[in-house]
């Protein structure tokens, strides 16, 4: 049987409402500008032939599909398909999916702890969250998840796949992973409550700080400022900072702006442009910085996406940091969450963001100033036949009154740099910072000799 005329008119009206949506915006998830409270008064008329074709297809599905499907479900499928066909990041969210987006951006949720996108019809891992079950299980950026609990994911949206990976803490989920150069393999992971600690820090060597930002959530900028303050309180002078954004899948736009603002004191940080002028935004730096002018190196790789690319691009354009690593992911689009009712919303790509110099990162990524591939550093041990002057019996004491270097002191130095041994890009970043400091001339006391200046 065919749809009654009034039902067809209702469908046309519903599509008109979808085409003209202008609801308020929730600042949830990845970058969310504020759109106008109402859509423009004038809009292009709906193509009636295509609307008739849609209602005809809907009618035939209702009549001929092998199993009966209610109208509510069919219309929701239509909305999902409409959004999925636009781009990999637009999606329809209902009930739990909507709640889960809030959990992700505020910092605690149950699941595996992995950020995913879509590639070639499959689910691609953008990055596992540091210390999450997925990270500990060895899931890597670039892995394709082709099945979850033996259910193929072909043409499934990233949000649907993420929903399948969520669940009660302590329960298991088995994912089938396709990795380049390997046969597909299964990984069984126990779900946990993912409490995201987005910033951690340590002193690698005296004066050289390491800051790791794993994801950008609401309080990330404040957490980073707190870590920098702690480091500067413990160490009177910072000779250099390494900001590690590798495998950082992004997050909240305002958090990225706050991180950049910790390092620069003037100028534009990022701006967005879309079809609606009301959605165009510009963020400027304030004069308040917490990192001073300490030399800065930012590490990125193919798992650095979205908000982390905003940070890297802004610091690169300002000349405030040297960007090292490999080309970033290239997600330069902005998603806005638009409620449809109390339980449902659409996450829609509404604009693109641009770095201070006007670069769009979309599908291009950030190209590092210095390309450094992922690798491991192997430290050679000292040859037993190798001697230093300090090893010779009866050697003269140092004329400057300094102690001889002993094996214990050399071993202590190696222990202090242990974190660098297994991380080649981090090791290279340290070398760059040391080179910057070595190039800075320092005045010496006249009593030290005839040289007016010397290097570190």
DSSP string over 339-398: ESSSSEEEEEEEEEEE-TTS-B-TTT-PPPSEE-------PPPPPTT---GGGSTTPPPP
Q: Which residues contact 410 (CB under 8 A, 6 or more apart)?
A: 382
Using only C-alpha atoms, the chain has a radius of gyration, in whole angstroms, of: 27
The two tokens of residue 246 are 């590798």
Write out the catalytic residue numbers: 306, 317, 331
Residue (of 209, 28, 29, 246) closest to 135 by Cα position: 246
Residue (of 449, 35, 57, 423) closest to 246 by Cα position: 423
**What is the DSSP secondary structure assignment for residue 279, as one 8-state letter?**
G
CA atoms within 13 A on the CB side of 114: 31
Consecutive H or E run containing 333: strand 333-339
CB of 302 closer than 8 Å to CB of 141: yes
CB of 188 closer than 8 Å to CB of 174: yes
The two tokens of residue 113 are 């702890």
**What is the DSSP secondary structure assignment for residue 400, as one 8-state letter?**
T
Q: Which residues contact 221 (CB under 8 A, 6 or more apart)?
A: 254, 255, 257, 258, 259, 261, 262
CB of 329 closer than 8 Å to CB of 127: no
């Amino acid at each position: 049987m065919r749809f009654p005329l009034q039902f067809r008119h209702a469908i046309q009206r519903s599509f008109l409402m979808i085409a003209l949506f202008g609801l308020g915006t929730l600042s949830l998830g990845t970058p969310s500008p504020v759109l106008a409270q109402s859509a423009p008064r004038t809009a292009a008329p709906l193509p009636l032939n295509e609307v008739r074709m849609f209602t005809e297809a809907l009618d035939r599905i209702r009549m001929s599909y092998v199993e009966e499907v209610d109208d509510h479900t069919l219309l929701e499928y239509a909305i999902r398909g409409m959004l999925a066909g636009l781009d990999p990041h637009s999606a329809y969210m209902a009930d739990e999916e909507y709640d889960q987006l809030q959990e992700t951006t505020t910092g605690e949720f149950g699941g595996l702890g992995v950020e995913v996108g879509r590639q070639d019809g499959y689910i691609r891992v953008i990055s596992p969250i540091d210390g999450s079950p997925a990270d500990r299980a060895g899931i890597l950026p670039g892995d394709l998840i082709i099945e979850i609990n033996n259910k193929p994911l072909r043409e499934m949206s990233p949000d649907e796949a993420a929903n399948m990976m969520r669940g009660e803490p302590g329960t298991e989920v088995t994912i089938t992973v396709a990795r380049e150069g390997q046969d597909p393999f299964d990984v069984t992971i126990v779900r946990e409550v993912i409490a995201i600690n987005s910033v951690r820090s340590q002193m690698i060597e005296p004066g050289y700080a390491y800051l790791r930002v794993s994801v950008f959530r609401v309080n990330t900028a404040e957490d980073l400022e707190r870590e920098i303050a702690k480091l500067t309180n413990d160490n009177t002078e910072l000779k250099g900072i390494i900001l590690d954004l590798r495998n950082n899948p992004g997050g909240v736009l305002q958090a990225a702006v706050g991180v950049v603002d910790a390092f620069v004191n003037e100028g534009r940080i990022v701006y967005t442009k879309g079809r609606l002028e009301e959605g165009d935004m510009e963020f400027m730096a304030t004069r308040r910085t917490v990192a001073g002018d300490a030399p800065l190196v930012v590490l990125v790789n193919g798992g650095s996406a979205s908000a982390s690319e905003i940070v890297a691009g802004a610091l690169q354009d300002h000349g405030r940091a040297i960007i090292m690593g490999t080309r970033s992911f290239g997600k330069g689009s902005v998603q806005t969450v638009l409620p449809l009712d109390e339980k449902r919303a659409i996450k829609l790509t509404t604009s693109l963001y641009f770095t201070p110099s006007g670069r769009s990162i979309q599908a291009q990524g950030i190209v590092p100033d210095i390309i450094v591939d992922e690798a491991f550093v192997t430290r050679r041990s000292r040859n037993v036949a190798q001697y230093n002057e300090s090893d010779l019996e009866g050697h003269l004491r140092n004329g400057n009154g300094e102690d001889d270097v002993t094996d214990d002191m050399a071993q202590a130095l190696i222990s202090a740099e242990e974190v660098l041994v297994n991380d080649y890009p981090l090791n290279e970043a340290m070398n760059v910072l040391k080179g910057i400091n070595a190039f800075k001339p320092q005045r010496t006391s006249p009593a030290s000799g005839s040289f007016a200046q010397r290097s570190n």
